[in-house]
Amino acid sequence: MDHKENTWTKSFSSGNELLKNISTGEPSFPNFDSQQSQEKWEDPSVLDYRTRIEPPIKDFKQHSETQSSLPCNPNNQVKLPVQEDGQMDGSLQSSKIQDWDPRTMLNNLSFLEQKIHQLQDLVHLIVGRRGQVFERPDELAAQQQQLITADLTSIIVQLISTAGSLLPSVKHNTLSNTTAVGQLGGVYLPSMVDLNGGFQLQDNGESKVSDQSNQIDLAGNIGNEQIYHMEEHESKDEEDADEGENLPPGSYEILQLEKEEILAPHTHFCTICGKGFKRDANLRMHMRGHGDEYKTPAALAKPNKESSSEPILLKRYSCPYAGCKRNKDHKKFQPLKTILCVKNHYKRTHCDKSYTCSRCNAKKFSVIADLKTHEKHCGKDKWLCSCGTTFSRKDKLFGHIALFQGHTPAISIDETKGQSGPPDRGEGNESISKVRSINFNFSSGAPSGSEVQNAVDVKAGIEDPASYFSPLNFDTCNFGGFHEFPRPPFEDSESSFSFFIPGSSSNYTVPGSCNYTKKTGGESSSNNLE
């Protein structure tokens, strides 16, 4: 036995670390995700992991009489030293104390069934997709294969552990078997973790009694913890830029809201009185007024909390605007993560800008939050480049100047004699787009509005980079006039990048300075004009 323990310890030393990782927090999870790179099965596996963890624990608890969910029973502590004495004692105890629980078994089996069904569905899906997808078939196939192997492994592991619970005398063998399978699974971390949890339990039982209870709890909690981390991870994703996510198609469910739905001010409507709400929580609070049945904790609780025990298919959203990169039919479709993302994206990119800044009367926004953000800084963007771009921060301006040849900081307007009055946006815009390669005198017209906006455009580009660089947007998102460029938040009509497209060059004169040559986006705008 000792010998066996040693080998186990050895073989799982890494696994133990993993367990610790999990117990301490997130870091292991990205690994988990990336290795599998599939989120579809992730949920089931987590689930199954949770359920699966019970049997082995229970197994053990056949000596210790501890439920994973329950705190450690003091009686166990008394008994544990006995267990320490050796295998014989352990097996003796177990056989003495506990018979197998048919309900648990049934539970396990039904889960296994469910899981097999899911796997079946997945394979169906893959078979269905194979006809459609032409791109990177090898890569995809490999991914799919990995996916299925992993799922199968987990099923096998669970099956064995379930069987092991039936035969207490074979328990240790079972465990060693599962280990082997777990290792076989290789990449399939959850199963390994799971096993380690079980194993660790035993290991600790041999060495430290006081720790054992903790370990049991811990192992029992892993499932929950994991789900917790999952949630956290997801919520983080919302804030992140999309490019971080690289979900393979099919690993998530695509939802597409209709335009009306997106633009509707309220998304949650009371089924009784029809009152609309922006937030579901508010709706639920409202519902209380319709009767006592809506006052129960269950009715007031967040509905999807319960569904966490159900398999969740990752949800991603598609923009209803045809041709948009965020539309599911786009070649390089990049899904949006939340409904809020959809709403903001749609308004910013495909809608008129109806909110005008009351300070500068120049900037327009389609999302009111953007307006508010802008108004906070409006008038403070004192860092002006000779190209007309403004920056709220000096270092940003200097970064810009370092990047572009010939650009130089403009001396602030109040110092410059020639410049006067607020810039008239519209005119400036038009003159720049229409009258190409003509000498502009900034002092006469003041830095034209569109150029002044560009700083913010650059900023905005970071928020929504995909739409910015999307060539397709260039082609199709034509709103007529000068609105051909995709419009990220803050942006007005022309993206700053348009100025750097090699096109016709014009000479601009900035008052109090020299002539310099600047590339303008004249060419691209002219395309639009024709």
Partner 1 sequence: MSPISLLSVLTEDLLVRVYTRLGSDSDRKTWRIVCKDFLRVDLVSRRSLRILRFEFLQCLLFKYTNLDSLDLSVCPRIEDGAISLLLSRPEWLNWTRCLTRLTLSRATGLGHSGLELLFRACPRLEAVDVSYCWGYGDMEASAISCAKGLRELRMDKCLGVTDVGLARIAVGCGKLERLSLKWCMEISDLGVDLLCKKCLDLKSLDVSYLKLTSESLRSIASLPKLEVLAMSGCPFVDDVGLQFLENRCPLLQVIDVSRCEFLTSSSLQSVARGHNGLLQLNAGYCLLGLPATVLHCLKDLKNLNTIRIDGARVSDSIFEIISSNCKSLVEIGLSKCVGVTDMGIMQLVSGCVDLKIVNLTCCRSITDAAISALAKSCWKLVCLKLESCDKVTEKSLNQLGSCCLGLEEIDLTDCSGVDDKGLKYLSGCSELLCLKLGLCTNISDKGLAYIAFNCTRISELDLYRCTGIGDDGLAALTNGCKKLMKLNLSYCNGVTDRGMQYIGHLKELSDLEMRGLINITSVGLTAVAAGCKRLAELDLKHCEKIDDSGFWALAYYSRNMRQINMSYCAVSDVGLCMVMGNLTRLQDAKLVHLSKVTVKGFELALRACSVRIRKLKLNSRLRLVLSSETLETLHARGCMFSWD
**One residue of 337, 407, 436, 487 binding partner 1 per CB under 8 A:** 407
Nearer to partner 1, 322 or 514 (CB): 514
Measure the CA–CA gap between 273 and 277, rounded to whole angstroms. Answer: 12
Given 513, 523, 526, 528, the residue binding partner 1 (CB under 8 A): 513
Q: Hey, how many other C-beta atoms are within 10 angstroms of the C-beta on 427?
A: 13
Q: How far is CA 234 from CA 245, 256, 444, in A?
A: 11, 19, 52
Q: Where are the alpha helices (DSSP H) in 98-208?
A: 102-130, 137-166, 171-185, 189-207
Binding residues for partner 1, total number by CB under 8 A:
15
Which tokens in the block code for residue 7? Answer: 């080998």
Residue 419 beta carbon to partner 1: minimum distance, rounded to whole angstroms: 13
CB of 520: closest distance to partner 1 in angstroms?
Answer: 19
Q: Which stretch binds partner 1 (CB under 8 A): 203-211, 337-345, 481-489, 511-519?
A: 511-519
- Element of type H or E holding 17: helix 13-24
Separation of alpha carbons 197 and 21, rounded Å: 12
Query: Among 140, 401, 432, 460, which residue sits at the site for partner 1 (rule: CB under 8 A)?
Result: 401
- For the beta carbon of residue 372, count every other beta carbon within 10 angstroms: 12
Helix (H, G, I), strand (E, B) or coil at 208: coil
Q: What is the DSSP letter of 507?
A: E
Bridge partners, 317 (sequence order): 255, 336
Contact predicate 182/157, CB 8 Å: yes
DSSP state of 242: G
How far apart are CB 409 and partner 1 at their closest, in Å? 4
- Closer CB to partner 1, residue 416 or residue 493? 416
For the segment 279-318, give every residue that binds partner 1 (CB under 8 A): none
Does 514 interact with partner 1 (rule: CB under 8 A)? yes
Structure tokens of 171?
């328990």
Of residues 6-45, those binding partner 1 (CB under 8 A): none
Q: How far is the CB of 394 from partner 1 (least distance, A)?
A: 6
We find the least distance from the C-beta atom of residue 406 to partner 1, in angstroms, to be 7
CB of 516 to partner 1, least distance (A): 9
Shortest distance (Å) from residue 373 CB to partner 1 = 25
Q: Tell me the window of 163-171, 242-250, 406-414, 460-468 that interacts with partner 1 (CB under 8 A).
A: 406-414
Q: Which span sits near partner 1 by CB under 8 A: 198-206, 325-333, 355-363, 408-416?
A: 408-416
Task: Count other Cβ atoms within 10 Å, centred on residue 228.
Answer: 13
The nearer residue to partner 1, 295 or 417, going by C-beta atoms, is 417
Helix, strand, coil percentages in the chain from 3-state DSSP, rounded to 5: 60, 5, 35
Query: CA–CA distance from 158 to each of 77, 103, 216, 224 (Å)?
Result: 28, 16, 19, 18
Of 35 and 408, which has the nearer Cβ to partner 1?
408
| 229/396 with CB nearer partner 1 | 396
- Quote the least distance from Cβ 452 to partner 1, whole Å: 17
What type of residue is 260?
A: E
414 binds partner 1 (CB under 8 A): no
Smaller CB distance to partner 1: residue 135 or 415? Answer: 415
4 binds partner 1 (CB under 8 A): no
CB 469, CB 486: distance < 8 Å: no
CB 219 → partner 1: shortest distance, Å?
Answer: 48
Nearer to partner 1, 325 or 407 (CB): 407
Q: How far is the CB of 316 from partner 1 (least distance, A)?
A: 41
Quick one: which of 30, 406, 422, 426 contacts partner 1 (CB under 8 A)? 406
Beta-ladder partners of 268: 277
CB of 412 to partner 1, least distance (A): 8
Piece of 136-144, 175-183, 335-343, 510-518 that binds partner 1 (CB under 8 A):
510-518
Work out the number of other CB atoms within 10 angstroms of the CB of residue 249: 15
Binder among 248, 323, 409, 465 for partner 1 (CB under 8 A): 409
Burial code (b: 16+ CB inside 10 Å, e: under 16) for 457-493 equals bbbbbeebebbbebebbbeebeeeebbbbbbbbbbbb
Least spacing, CB of residue 401 vs partner 1, in Å: 6
Q: Does 117 bind partner 1 (CB under 8 A)?
A: no
DSSP letter at 427 equals: H
Residue of 9, 408, 506, 526 interacting with partner 1 (CB under 8 A): 408
Binding residues for partner 1 restricted to 338-397, rule: CB under 8 A? 394-395
Least distance to partner 1 from the beta carbon of 514, Å? 5
Interface region with partner 1, contact rule CB under 8 A, candidates 112-120, 134-142, 404-412, 519-527: 404-412
Q: What's the closest the beta carbon of residue 407 comes to partner 1, in angstroms?
A: 7
CB-nearer residue toward partner 1: 88 or 402: 402
Which of 138, 243, 414, 415 contacts partner 1 by CB under 8 A?
415
Specify the 3-state DSSP secondary structure of 528: helix
User: Which helix (H) or strand (E) covers residue 527, if one does?
Assistant: helix 522-529
**Sequence-separated contacts (24+) of 169-173 with Cβ below 8 Å:** 169/91, 169/95, 171/59, 171/91, 171/94, 172/4, 172/87
* 181 vs 397 by CB, closer to partner 1: 397
Query: Residue 411, interface with partner 1 (CB under 8 A)?
Result: yes
User: Residue 124 burial (CB < 10 Å; 0-12/13-18/19+)?
Assistant: exposed
Q: What does the binding site for partner 1 look like in residue numbers (CB under 8 A)?
A: 394-395, 398, 401-402, 406-409, 411-412, 415, 512-514
